[in-house]
Structure 1
Amino acid sequence: MADRPSDEARPGSGSGEEPSIPDDVWEKFLKDSERDIHGSAPKEPSARARMVTERLRNQEARGALPEGWRTGPAWQQEKGRRGRRIGGALAVLLAAAVTVVAMKPSLLPGDLFGTRKSAAADASRLPEETAAPTAPPASVDPHVPTLTRPFAGSPAESWADGEAGIVLPKATALGSIPQDRVALALQLTKELLVDANLDPRVLAGARPEAALAVLDPKQPKLLDDLDTALRTPSKAHNPLTLFSRFDPREVKPAGNVVKVRGRITFDKGDFAGVAVHADYTFVYPVVRTDGSTEVTRTIVRRVIDAELPDPAHYRVTPGLLNLVRYDEDGGNTACDIHDGYLHPQFPSKAPTAGATPTGPSVDPYDRSRPIDQSHSCGTVSRT
């Protein structure tokens, strides 16, 4: 900072009086000084400027400032600059908020864009099934399924999607059977269920290679019977007892979601190995391939008992499953057609040729009842 002007350099020094300068001159000086400070680099103040500064300091000490000093236009300009800085910060915050809302619009109060539908659906999602139900699912509003809501009017609308519905229990050791063998048995069973009932290619009639790969070829007749059923389906060799398949010339999926509900458990097996029990229901929404947008659903329930035997005690292929039991119960498929495909029935179309249903009406969503092993051809109370 420059030194204070000496008495010799100050105008009017030695007169005993300070120079009298009009207020409008002071205000203009202050305006000009503020503008110049921001418009150029600092310069050595003139004698006049040093004198003015000294006078202002003296007046400030007495509490008598001229209008414009710290409270006048220059101060207001500073407030304006602060306002612009605050405004810039608010703009940054606003931009960040817009970005967050764009990524997750449901954060907006009132849900202006109607995006809470998925959140509400997640909130209504049923918890996983951990025990056998004691009653069928409650009835829901009889909405007609559509391409945008293929599970409307169905209890399955609150079920899990696809593979997420097959939740494995935590593997634990079974006496001398180590935990890792239990985990392997559970994982192989899940792979079988996923490929046999959820793979889009298998659903369209392709060979279920991944499902067949987890089955032990040393189990008598198993793979031979399944190969025959897939190659030349018949009433005696029906692939639908283990695999879900639709004729791609007749129907196609309505969307890419299959709803799944069920449970899987394990225990010691009869062959010194791990026994796995699986009971799952799959719900398939489909439309005809003739261009119609009418949606219908076919429901398939499967019960599988598999075992991972101990290769130290039995002639088996290590690491592959033996099937002890596999059965299915279908809902909304034509009766007595043994071509290896499920044939969904549509309300607006005459039933596919086949035997007239003679069995009792059943609720295909009722997982509290035992699976129908008689395979009688009946009707369904809902789809």
Structure 2
Amino acid sequence: MGDDFRPANKSGLFARHGNTIIISVLAAVTLVVGVLSVRQTHPELLSGLFGTGPGPAVAAVPVPLTPTVDLAHPFAGTAVEGWADGEAGIVAPTAAPLAGFTRAQVADALDRARRALISARIDPRVLHGTDVGLLVDQFAAPKRAEVLASPHLRTAIAEGSTLLEGVPVKATGTMSVHAGRRGELIIDMNHSFAYAFTPRDRAVPAGPMQIISVVRAQSQYGFYGLADWPGVGRGLIPLDHSRFFYSMSCSAAVRGYLAPADAERVNPGGATPEEDRKRIFDPSLPMPDPKGTC
């Protein structure tokens, strides 16, 4: 399974009409509005156009921008508001004996997979890249270099972006386990994670999704604990993964990193088909269409 990144919406152009009179009137109105806008925000620019400028007592009055997002509760009113906080959103199934593994061994495999996923998608030290070893060390030695080298096996926050302090990652989804080849357990994890970022300009966010990014992640780990496995030994390894970014910076996403939509001042997720939007927020549904990319 591969990675997929949905671009934010790109505004379209209005269709042109052939009525010359209408175009002329609209042009005149646009000019007047434009002049008024320039006069209010940059009056010095009018002096060269009309030969006059503002008097010494006239000055542009900045219009204050009012934040529309409660940065202490950024998820309020969004589709992820009801998701669990942090690792509480990653729940392992009840363990039972399976394919030669005892109940305790299956429970150990599930716990290892759960802790690895928490590190990969929730632990801020791994997300920000300050201590990726916390994730790497949970895998069997022959696979650690692969995990260390790939930002695709974890959520990697782009340089210059930071998560809101004190605001937990939101998570929802499921885990399951089944027998693979002899001595092998396969653990499947299908989750969605929501991250709230510190705004680039704390007065600017027009809505919560400008600073919230969602990652739909489907991961599969293998666990080997009955005997040494060729090339692995014993332990946990990543087998397969797929992910889908939503409401994010495309320039970061194409490099495998996550940054919010406000990093590029774009309309977050506006071009995403409704069916894919449902799949992003509901990990019980199939993964979104893999065709869309940044």
Structures share fold, TM-score greater than 0.5: yes
**Which amino acid letter does the alignment assign opposite residue 371 of structure 1?**
M
- Gaps spanning 5+ residues in structure 2: where? 1-67
- The alignment status of 1:262 with 2:173, answered yes or no, reads yes
Higher alpha-carbon Rg: 1
- The alignment status of 1:279 with 2:190, answered yes or no, reads yes
Does the 8 Å contact 1:272/1:310 carry over to 2? Answer: yes
- Gaps spanning 5+ residues in structure 1: where? 1-143, 230-238, 379-383
- The alignment status of 1:244 with 2:160, answered yes or no, reads no
- The alignment status of 1:344 with 2:260, answered yes or no, reads yes
Could you tell me which residue of structure 1 aligns to residue 27 of structure 2? none
Counting matched residue pairs gives: 218
Does the 8 Å contact 2:137/2:144 carry over to 1? Answer: no
More strand by share: 2
Could you tell me which residue of structure 1 aligns to residue 217 of structure 2? 302
**1:370 Cα deviation after fit:** 1.8
Which shows bigger deviation, 178-187 or 327-336?
A: 327-336
Could you tell me which residue of structure 2 aligns to residue 374 of structure 1? 290
**1:310 Cα deviation after fit:** 4.5
Aligned-pair RMSD on alpha carbons? 2.9
Does the 8 Å contact 1:358/1:376 carry over to 2? Answer: no
CA deviation map 1:67-122 (0-9, x unaligned) = xxxxxxxxxxxxxxxxxxxxxxxxxxxxxxxxxxxxxxxxxxxxxxxxxxxxxxxx
Does the 8 Å contact 2:138/2:236 carry over to 1? Answer: yes
- The alignment status of 1:228 with 2:228, answered yes or no, reads no
- Given the two structures, how large is their TM-score scaled by the length of structure 1? 0.51
Does the 8 Å contact 1:263/1:278 carry over to 2? Answer: yes
Per the alignment, do residues 200 and 255 of structure 1 end up closer, same or farther by CA in structure 2, a change over 3 Å counting?
A: same
Per the alignment, do residues 360 and 194 of structure 1 end up closer, same or farther by CA in structure 2, a change over 3 Å counting?
A: same
What's the secondary structure of 1:155's corresponding residue? coil
Identity fraction in percent: 24
Could you tell me which residue of structure 1 aligns to residue 249 of structure 2? 334
Could you tell me which residue of structure 1 aligns to residue 229 of structure 2? 314
Which shows bigger deviation, 263-272 or 308-317?
A: 308-317
Does the 8 Å contact 2:153/2:241 carry over to 1? Answer: yes
Per the alignment, do residues 373 and 324 of structure 1 end up closer, same or farther by CA in structure 2, a change over 3 Å counting?
A: farther
Per the alignment, do residues 328 and 335 of structure 1 end up closer, same or farther by CA in structure 2, a change over 3 Å counting?
A: same
Per the alignment, do residues 368 and 278 of structure 1 end up closer, same or farther by CA in structure 2, a change over 3 Å counting?
A: closer
- Given the two structures, how large is their TM-score scaled by the length of structure 2? 0.64
